[in-house]
Structure formats: structure tokens, C-alpha cells
């Protein structure tokens, strides 16, 4: 079993990249993430402000670029235009030697997907995109996400049953918010999972459940990233302690489960 532990800066970094939520500079935050032991960083939109020097910044801190979310609009925009946007996204990630392209179809027109034709069009479009991503040497992971077309168990079932190549991003927080039992999705689609998101706040409350999740991944020989997200934080949140708790919890469980860390 090969797995790497990465960080997503959600709620840790502000949109200007000047400071973290706890007042630390962006450079100091990267240094801390590396010092703690994280091996990579999943990009958020604010990082695009420094995209030209991001590769150098990550190299200096001995951090890998994991990947980045790409919002798709297959149902509401011209598909050729969507393919062009994806191509640009792929090229950007390849320049940073990233591993994963995360897809998520966003809503522009309400009440779509009620018709079978809409689902067929969406699944076909995502399948084409996933093949394009694979042909470029990257993993594809679809992210069921709150307030999007695909978020609950029924949506995930339709997507998985009508595609063959697209992988699934397993995100405990979004599944719980959608009223879905994460273990049901994990066990049902374990062979399709290509990326994992865990939340540090959840870990602090229930490390036993997380251990069960990691054990399932181990048994399925999952190979890839487990990315820690900060979850909901406030100005009083101790940035370093939050990041450290997330890393140490996952790392100790992986070690306990005899995972082979990359």
C-alpha cells in the first residue's frame, strides 16, 4: 500500500495569500506544512495569483503539487469550450508535476438532471474528460460536492453506473453534509476511489471512524493521496496545532495499520 499525506489550505489561507487565518505569512504557512511532515499541497483558487512562481515555492519547501479542482459546466456551456478549458487546466497541472485533476459539475441552470437525457449528456461528457485526463498521465477524481448536481448517494450511483473510467473523490465531510453514510459509499465504490479528503476537525472528534476508513483503503490497496482539510476554523484557531493534529492522527493510524508510506 502506497499513500501520501497532503494538505488542502481551506480556511487556513485567505484569498490574498498574505496571511493564513491565524495571521501567519503565506511563506511561513508553507514552511510549517512541510515541517509537520505533509508531502504535498492541493491547490485552491488563491494560489493562482502566484502560479508563475508556485513551482519554485513548493520545491523550496520540499512539497509536491497534488492537484486542483476544475469546475465543469457540461450541461450549460458549449462542450468544445469546456474541453479547451480542461486542456488549459491539465497543462497547468502538468507544468507543476501534479498527480490529480478533480472534477465537479457546477450549477448554472436550476432543476437540470431531472431528465434522463441530461444525465446521459453529463456522464458522457465526464467520461470523455476522464479519458483525456488519463491520456495526459494524470488521475481523474470526481468530487460529489454540496450545492452541485452530484452530491448524494443516488447521484453518485447514477454517475458510477453510467461511467467506466472516471474515478471518485471520497470526501467524508461532503458526504455527511449530504446525509450520506461515508462507509456505504466507501465500500460500494472502493475500486473507483482515486482521491481522498479528510477533515482535521472530524479527526479530532472521531479517530476510530477514520481508522476504519483507512483500513478499508488499505485492504483495497488504495494508492494515492489522503488530503487533510482544515474544515471550519475561526480567527482564534491555532493554525499549526490544527495542521499538526490532522497529520499526526492520519500518520499514526497509517503506521498502526502497517501502511507503506511513500
Q: State pLDDT tens for residues 124-169.
A: 999 999 999 999 999 999 999 988 889 899 999 999 999 999 999 9
For residues 25 and 116, the model is more confident at 116
Position 58 scores a pLDDT of 94
For residues 66 and 182, the model is more confident at 66
Q: How confident is the model at residue 258 (pLDDT cuts 50, 70, 90)?
A: low
Residues 183-218: pLDDT tens digits?
Answer: 999 999 999 999 999 986 555 555 568 888 998 998
Long-range contact set of residues 234-242: C-beta below 8 Å, sequence gap at least 24: 234/21, 235/21, 235/22, 237/11, 237/21, 237/22, 238/22, 239/12, 239/20, 239/21, 239/22, 239/24, 239/29, 239/32, 240/22, 240/32, 240/36, 242/12, 242/200
Q: How confident is the model at residue 68 (pLDDT cuts 50, 70, 90)?
A: very high
Residue in 167, 219, 176 with CA at minimum distance from that of residue 196: 167
pTM above threshold 0.75: yes
* Average per-residue pLDDT for the chain: 85
Position 240 scores a pLDDT of 76
CATH topology of domain 2-261: TIM Barrel (3.20.20)
CA–CA distance, 117 with 108 (Å, rounded to integer): 17
Q: Which residues contact 72 (CB under 8 A, 6 or more apart)?
A: 82, 86, 103, 104, 105, 106, 125, 126, 129
Amino acid at each position: 500500500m502506497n499513500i501520501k499525506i497532503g494538505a488542502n489550505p481551506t480556511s487556513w489561507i485567505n484569498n490574498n495569500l498574505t496571511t493564513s487565518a491565524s495571521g501567519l505569512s503565506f511563506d511561513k504557512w508553507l514552511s510549517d506544512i512541510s515541517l509537520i511532515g505533509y508531502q504535498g499541497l492541493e491547490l485552491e483558487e488563491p494560489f493562482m495569483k502566484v502560479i508563475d512562481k508556485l513551482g519554485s515555492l513548493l520545491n523550496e519547501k520540499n512539497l509536491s503539487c497534488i492537484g486542483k479542482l476544475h469546475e465543469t459546466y457540461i450541461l450549460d456551456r458549449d462542450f468544445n469550450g469546456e474541453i479547451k478549458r480542461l486542456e488549459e487546466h491539465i497543462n497547468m497541472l502538468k507544468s507543476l508535476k501534479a498527480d490529480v485533476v478533480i472534477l465537479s459539475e457546477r450549477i448554472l441552470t436550476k432543476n437540470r438532471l431531472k431528465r434522463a437525457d441530461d444525465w446521459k449528456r453529463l456522464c458522457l461528457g465526464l467520461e470523455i474528460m476522464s479519458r483525456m485526463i488519463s491520456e495526459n498521465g494524470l488521475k481523474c477524481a470526481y468530487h460529489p460536492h454540496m450545492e452541485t448536481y452530484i452530491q448524494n448517494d443516488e447521484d453518485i450511483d447514477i454517475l458510477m453506473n453510467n461511467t467506466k473510467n472516471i474515478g471518485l473523490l471520497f470526501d467524508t465531510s461532503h458526504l455527511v453534509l449530504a446525509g450520506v453514510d461515508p462507509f456505504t459509499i466507501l465500500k460500494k465504490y472502493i475500486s473507483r476511489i482515486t482521491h481522498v479528503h479528510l477533515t482535521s476537525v472530524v479527526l479530532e472528534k472521531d479517530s476510530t471512524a477514520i481508522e476504519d476508513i483507512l483500513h478499508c483503503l488499505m485492504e483495497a490497496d488504495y494508492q494515492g493521496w489522503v488530503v487533510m482539510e482544515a474544515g471550519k476554523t475561526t480567527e482564534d484557531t491555532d493554525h499549526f496545532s490544527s495542521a499538526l493534529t490532522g497529520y499526526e492522527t492520519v500518520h499514526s493510524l497509517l503506521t498502526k495499520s502497517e501502511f507503506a508510506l511513500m
